[in-house]
Amino acid sequence: MKVNKLIIIFIFLLAACNIGINKEALIGQWNYKSFAYQNKSLNKPFANIAAQQPYIEFKEDGTAAIYSSGKVLSSGKYQLEGKIIRFVEDLPNNQTRKIPFLIIELNENQLIFQTMDAEVKVITAEKEK
C-alpha cells in the first residue's frame, strides 16, 4: 500500500514539473521594465529602458520580434517547450541563430524570463494593455 502511495505521489510530482506555458498567455507585446545579470559580479551597463523602450512581441502564428528605439533588433520564429521559448532568429543570407529563453514567471500582466547563455540576463516585462 505504501508503495502505491509513493508511486502516485511520484507521478503527481513528475506531472507538476512538466507543466508547460500556455501559448495564448504569451501572445502579445511585453514591454521591458528591468534587466539584471543573474551573476551580480558582472558589471556591464544596460541600455536606458526609458529612452529606448525595448519590448518583445509574440504572435499567434509563431513569429516573434524584439524591438528597441522603435526599430526591430531581431525577428524570427519561436516554439514553446515546457517553460523554454525556443527562438530561432532570422539572420542575413538565410542564416539562423537559436536563442533559448527560460520563463521564470508568466501571468496575465508580467513576464519574467532569462537568457540561457554564459552571461545570464533576467528580464522583467509587463504586457501592453
Domains of the chain, first to last: 21-127 (2.40.128.540)
pLDDT of residue 80: 96
Q: How many helices (H) does the chain have, and how many strands (E)?
A: 3, 8
Tell me how crowded residue 129 is: count the other CB atoms within 10 A of its CB: 7
Going by C-alpha positions, the residue among 113, 2, 100 that lies closest to residue 55 is: 113
With a cut of 50, which residues of the chain have pLDDT below it? 3, 6-7, 9-18
CA 59 – CA 48 distance, rounded (Å): 26
Q: Is the pTM of this model over 0.85?
A: no
pLDDT of residue 5: 52
pLDDT of residue 1: 52
SS3 51: helix
Looking at the chain, how many residues does it have? 129
pLDDT of residue 44: 66
| Cβ pair 122, 112 in contact under 8 A | yes
pLDDT of residue 99: 96
pLDDT of residue 2: 53
CA 114 – CA 105 distance, rounded (Å): 10
